[in-house]
Amino acid sequence: MEINYRPITASDLHFLKELYRNTREEELNAAGWNELQKEKFIEFQFNAQHSHYINTFEHIDFLIIEFRKTDIGRLYLWKTDNQIRILDISLLEKYRCRKIGTNIINALINEANQTGKRLNLHVNKNNPALKLYERLGFQKKEETEIDYFMERLPNITA
């Protein structure tokens, strides 16, 4: 599968906001807002989330996911000496359920296994990707009202 990654640049902000909106469209439609209200909400939420990542985690890999030379998503990773944290993985709707996300997660599992690091993430309880993470060996470690913290220990072979 032809998946590539590149660091985000300032010129990617429009795409990243559109992607963020694409992942929240169902929620936006349920809110009953007009288009201006939706745009302001997305702008505020995207900026708040991005600022949170920058201010909370050091040395984040902010990556654009490319499929066949087309920008299709984002992957935000935080790597430490003992873990790889998936802070965010998002794909445009038309690229979901096409095994792209599975391939990305499997590549991260392979990296975690090779480096002996835990692979972990937070996932919303209503996110369809929850089943994927469970199928790939992630275990629920913590729970809040809205999400799970999940982790997969490395499979180290001699």
SS3 label, residue 35:
helix
In the prediction, which pLDDT does 155 show? 87
Query: What are the boundaries of each domain within the chain?
Result: 3-152
Q: How far apart are CA 35 and CA 28, in angstroms?
A: 9
CATH class in words for 3-152: alpha beta
In the prediction, which pLDDT does 58 show? 86
2-40 tens-digit pLDDT: 999 999 999 999 999 999 999 888 888 889 899 999 999
Q: How far apart are CA 64 and CA 97, in angstroms?
A: 18
pTM here? Answer: 0.90
